[in-house]
Amino acid sequence: MQPKIVVYKALPQDILEDLRRHAQVVVLAPDPGQDREALTEALGDALVDADGAIGASVKIAPATIARATRLKAISTISVGVDNFDLADLTRRGIVLAHTPDVLTESTADTVFALVLSTARRVVELAEWVKAGRWKGSIGPEHYGVDVHGKTLGIVGLGRIGGALARRAALGFDMRVLYTNRHANEPAERAYGARRVELGELLAQSDFVCLQVPLTPQTRHMIGAAQLAAMKRSAILINASRGAIVDEAALIAALADGTIAGAGLDVFEHEPLAPESKLLTMHNVVALPHIGSATHETRYAMARCAARNLLDALAGRLTHNVANPEVLTR
């Protein structure tokens, strides 16, 4: 008998058809305007007799899968796994697969785009031109700051952080500082990256880029004290998870000039509320969580996630597992 798979995010048609060749597939199609709570409830109902699930952008709490006694594997189309309770999944013997490699380069592109666009005020000045306000040569009030030759501080030098360090050091002759649980010796050799404590990184960096996963330990790791430790000319870049930054503290720091600006692809609550003060600030570039959002990368992520799920259900998945300890049970 073929396993039953619940698909809770739209997949490319060819990938969906490939899944259908190997499993009974149920596509959970949200109703227009359906809120997250209703979608989560519908997912819980669909998973009751499912063997596997594939999707993204939905929080799957223990209560969601409480009745899913057949569930063997979930494959998330993302690298981040903060939508899941890993300990609970492991206790239940459920494999959680993710896609950590295929989005590295496109996400690093997005991060560096935020560096450039905040430093050179690209979004702000593009809107200024579109508004018909360009009447002559620009003056110092519209100048940005250089990126080349500056110091880039990377909090979390993993795959994406390493790709960012390569762009910075080799492409823009930047000095790279980083904090990490462990030394990244390849990055130190190839890009001259230097491992320092967070305090030193904040004090010396012209651009501080956050590239850590969201965990209880990293939630609000950047708050008022950390922002105050940065240069007044510094720019904060966050394309990892919004809750790593205390958003209220960031708004205050941007408003009073504690730091010069911020480039943000993620927020504490998404989508960002239209009334957010961040949207009124000229020194903020705000993007709608587009880190990996290219046609090529999103397709590759979906393909990888589908393969992960089929391999997990067949008992042959040995990589891309967020809770590898479940494989040894």
Q: Which of 21-30, 45-54, 314-323 has the lowest mean pLDDT?
A: 21-30
Task: Summarize pLDDT for 262-280 with one digit per residue, the tens.
Answer: 999 999 999 999 999 999 9
Query: Active-site residues: which are they?
Result: 241, 270, 289
In the predicted model, is pLDDT for residue 177 greater than 80? yes
Does residue 29 have a pLDDT over 80?
A: no
Dig out the tokens for 150 from the structure. 């500056």
Share of the chain above pLDDT 90, in %: 95
Over 80: is that where the pLDDT of 33 sits?
A: no
- Mean pLDDT calculated for residue range 159-185: 97
* pLDDT tens for each residue of 316-326: 999 999 999 99
CA atoms of 9 and 133, how far apart (whole Å): 43
DSSP 50: -
Task: Give the mean model confidence (pLDDT) for residues 174-190.
Answer: 97
Alpha-helical regions (H) of the chain: 13-22, 36-46, 86-92, 104-119, 122-130, 159-166, 172, 185-191, 198-204, 224-229, 247-255, 295-313
Query: Domains of the chain, with CATH numbers?
Result: 4-101+295-328 (3.40.50.720), 104-286 (3.40.50.720)
Of 319, 327, 312, 325, whose CA–CA distance to 53 is shortest?
312
Distance (Å) of CA 101 to CA 77, 117, 135, 304, 313: 12, 26, 47, 9, 21
Gap between the Cα atoms of 171 and 123, Å rounded: 22
Q: What is the mean pLDDT of the chain?
A: 96
Question: Does the predicted model carry a pTM greater than 0.85?
Answer: yes
CA distances from 85 to 80, 91, 129, 216 (A): 12, 10, 47, 12
